[in-house]
Amino acid sequence: MNLEKVVFGFFIVLAATLNFGFFIGDIDQPMHHHIYELFAAIVVNLIATVLKFGDRTQIGAVHLSTSLVADLQLVAAACVWAFAVHVGGEGMSPEVTTSVVSLSGGALFANVVSVVLLIAETVMLRR
Amino acid sequence: MNTGVLFLALRRMRAPLIVLIVIYAVSTLGLTLVPGVDAEGRPAPPMSFFHAFYFVSYTATTIGFGELPTAFSDAQRMWVTVSIYLSVVGWSYSIVSLLALVQDKGFQQVLLTSRFARRVGQLGEAFYIVCGCGETGLLIARALDHDGIRVVVVERSEARVQELELEDFSADILVLCADAAQPQHLLMAGLRHRSCRGVLAMTDDDAANLAIAIASRLINPRLRIVARVASPAIEANMMSFGTHYVVNHFEKFADYLAQAIHSPNWFRLVDLLTGLPGQEVPERHDPPAGDWVVCGYGRFGQAVVRNLGRQGINLTVIDPTPTLPAGVRHIVGQGTEAAPLRQAGVDSAVGIVAASDNDTNNLSIAMTAKEVNPDLFVVLRQNRVANQILFDAYDADFTMVPSRIVARECLALITSPLLARFLKLVRAWPETRAADLAGRLEALFGRRVPLVWGVRLNAADAPAVHRRLVLEQASLSLGRLRADPAARDEALPLLPLLLQRDGRDYPLPDDETIVAAGDEILFAGTRAAKTAQNLTLDHRTVLDYVLTGRDTPGWLWSWLSRAGRAAESRRNEPRRV
């Protein structure tokens, strides 16, 4: 067993699960989408991205790009939230919640791709 | 290659980056949980993520605006104290890691290598790859650089690379510190580059040279490959897969020595024509015919015995090994002692070859033998260039320096392939004809080694001449290519040695020879003469002047001179006041 692979797999799956946890629920219900979960998803996603640095293989490159996409989407969601709550002053209205959650939904898709890649890599290794 | 550097840096920065992210996350999270206080001192809800992130961002980078947006509660201050120290540790760790990365040898090597590869890729002019830049490689690199040919060097020893950087080259010399026997290093040095003309395998290791020759032959068959080799077996191996030229300095020198005994004037020509241009020609020493003694039966000794034996010269070998092939007259012993030398017949011999692989022993052999017989012709093998001072002090009749021999063979091959052909032709000449040519060369160039170059009368190398010959169907005699473009009645100090037309050789063509397009002509002359001749070959106006004696100005010049004359005449008009 390779500890590095354990950590790598752990963070990729955790990024996806946290993202999913934030995403799940009615899309315009602020109480279904806790902001701490978004925070956790962002932090874990960033760590997963850094873990993917420095792999020059083709699959490593795709891994990194999916992670970057997820980061981008989640940070955009966080920005929308911060703007709505602190700058615009409208708070977590249904419109704002919808936009934040849908952005995180995009990130979730990227994270799912990442997990699929991880599984594919493992399966190929088995052969 | 640059992405390689980036990836390496990112890989090394993984741990510090993760530490930073975690510290930021923990600090921010903590601030969103610790309760605050409002202006009246009543407990207030904790900061929101937005404010917490803002605060951590400016605190962690030690900008420190103060407590924003409102004054902190004591609990918040407690947490902020912790997070400040955390962030300082995090940033220090990242910066130290980054500095360590920059100073890391491996990382610097990657940076240097990628810069080398980029610069090789950008080379627009013809260049040669020199593998191994020891004594031989350095001589070649210097001479090629002097001729304006770019050189890319692959050298394994770091100390040599640093010495190379201190050398005074006219063009930037590109050096890669790597083992040239590895094909990927050759590729990096531009083996597949479109401007690469050839590979010179000049390391002191036969196996490495063999590996370089095979790799170059396989990867880019178009290249000219020259390899240096000391063992006859590897030489045969190299020739078998089509290395263009293999220089075995032992064999070469032994062959020269045999030829010099047989026909001294041919050897004089070789000395004159294949030396390093501009250097002084060594004094003439003709080795005498008669009995010879060879001390040492190593690779060089064997080559000498083989080549001199072929000329029918009587030889005696002195070597400590008791078993030598039958047919070699052999005295067991050290050449450094007088007794075996006498036994080998030094008293009656005309020459001695000190051929061991130890410089001190060779000098000792020479001195002992000279004491026994002061009239001996002494041939010394010099193994290391560093011992030059000793050999200069001794001043033997002939000194064999492997690096010099290899360097000048390679240069002659690269800069004028026709020369090897010419020298082969001259071998068949009678002695008097060779003597006559050597005399003419010496009269023209004094004691300096002339430059030898080939000219091909085609559109690329000689546009003006080619235009006249092909488009205008006019004739041109070879003598016109010798005329000085500054004063056409004077001849430039250069001599045509060989004219090659349709695969046939015409040695020593005279001035009346009519040249044709596509001819290849080999000249020997001074560097200045070559430059002057290039003017005639390249420029129509210069060629016209050389042919007719009249200056036909170009349109710009004629316009300028007309304008100049007009201005002059205006100025000379009397002014009316």
B512: domain CATH number is 3.30.70.1450
User: Using the 8-state DSSP alphabet, how is residue B471 labeled?
Assistant: I
Residue B377 lies in a domain: yes
**Cβ separation A53–B13 shorter than 8 A:** yes
Q: Does A92 touch chain B (CB under 8 A)?
A: no
Q: Does A46 touch chain B (CB under 8 A)?
A: yes
Range of B45's domain? 2-103
SS3 at position B351 = strand
The stretch B159-186 carries a mean pLDDT of 86
Are B182 and B208 in contact, with CB atoms under 8 Å apart? Answer: no
Are B496 and B478 in contact, with CB atoms under 8 Å apart? Answer: yes
B142 & B282 share domain: no
Choosing from B419, B436, B469, the residue where a domain stops is B419
B221 & B259 share domain: no
User: pLDDT grade, residue B573 (50/70/90)?
Assistant: low
**Cβ separation B14–A47 shorter than 8 A:** no
- B54-65 residue pLDDT tens: 988 888 876 777
B366 & B409 share domain: yes
Share of chain B above pLDDT 70, in %: 95
What is the interface pTM, i.e. ipTM, of the complex?
A: 0.87
B293 & B338 share domain: yes
Task: Enter the pTM of the model.
Answer: 0.68
User: Using the 8-state DSSP alphabet, how is residue B289 labeled?
Assistant: S
Residue B16 lies in a domain: yes
Q: Kindly report the CA angle at B305 between B300 and B307, in degrees rounded to 5? A: 95
User: pLDDT grade, residue B577 (50/70/90)?
Assistant: very low
Lowest mean pLDDT among A13-17, B2-6, B571-575: B571-575
Residue B541 lies in a domain: yes
Residue B289 lies in a domain: yes
The stretch B132-148 carries a mean pLDDT of 85
- A113-125 residue pLDDT tens: 999 999 988 888 7
B1 pLDDT more than 60: no
Q: Does B559 touch chain A (CB under 8 A)?
A: no
B383 & B285 share domain: yes
With a CB-CB cutoff of 8 Å, which residues 27-46 of chain B face chain A?
A: 28-29, 32
Q: Kindly report the CA angle at B469 between B468 and B471, in degrees rounded to 5? A: 65
B378 & B519 share domain: no
Across the beta sheet with B504-507, the strand order is B451-456, B520-525, B494-501, B504-507
B574 pLDDT more than 60: no
pLDDT the model gives residue B465: 86
B485 & B548 share domain: yes
How far apart are the CA of B20 and the nearest CA of chain A, in angstroms? 10
B234 & B196 share domain: yes
User: Using the 8-state DSSP alphabet, how is residue A72 labeled?
Assistant: H
Choosing from B402, B419, B436, the residue where a domain stops is B419
pLDDT the model gives residue B555: 67
pLDDT the model gives residue B251: 85
- B239-248 residue pLDDT tens: 888 777 888 8
SS3 at position B75 = helix
Number of folded domains that form chain B: 4
Strand B245-248 with B292-295, pairing = unpaired
B169 & B268 share domain: no
User: pLDDT grade, residue B386 (50/70/90)?
Assistant: confident
How far apart are the CA of A51 and the nearest CA of chain B, in angstroms? 6
Residue B330 lies in a domain: yes
B123 & B90 share domain: no
Number of folded domains that form chain A: 1
Residue B443 lies in a domain: no
Range of A109's domain? 3-126
- What CATH number has the domain bearing residue B60? 1.10.287.70
DSSP run (H or E) holding B393:
helix B388-394
Lowest mean pLDDT among B11-25, B61-75, B357-371: B61-75
Contacts of B28 in chain A (CB under 8 A): 39
For chain B, give the mean pLDDT: 84
The stretch B252-258 carries a mean pLDDT of 85
Cis status, amide bond into A94, omega within 30 of 0? no
B279 & B407 share domain: yes
- B221-241 residue pLDDT tens: 888 888 888 888 888 888 888
Residue B437 lies in a domain: no
Residue B464 lies in a domain: yes
Phi, psi of B66 (to 5 degrees): 110, -165
Are A74 and A103 in contact, with CB atoms under 8 Å apart? Answer: yes
Lowest mean pLDDT among B143-152, B310-319, B450-459, B552-561: B552-561
Which of B4, B8, B49 is nearest residue A39 as measured by Cβ atoms?
B49
B83 & B144 share domain: no
The stretch B278-304 carries a mean pLDDT of 82
How far apart are the CA of A23 and the nearest CA of chain B, in angstroms? 19
> Can you read off the two tokens belonging to residue B50?
């937005």
User: pLDDT grade, residue A104 (50/70/90)?
Assistant: very high
Which of A51, A54, A85 is nearest residue B48 as measured by Cβ atoms?
A85
Residue B338 to residue B435: CA distance in whole angstroms:
38
pLDDT the model gives residue B564: 67
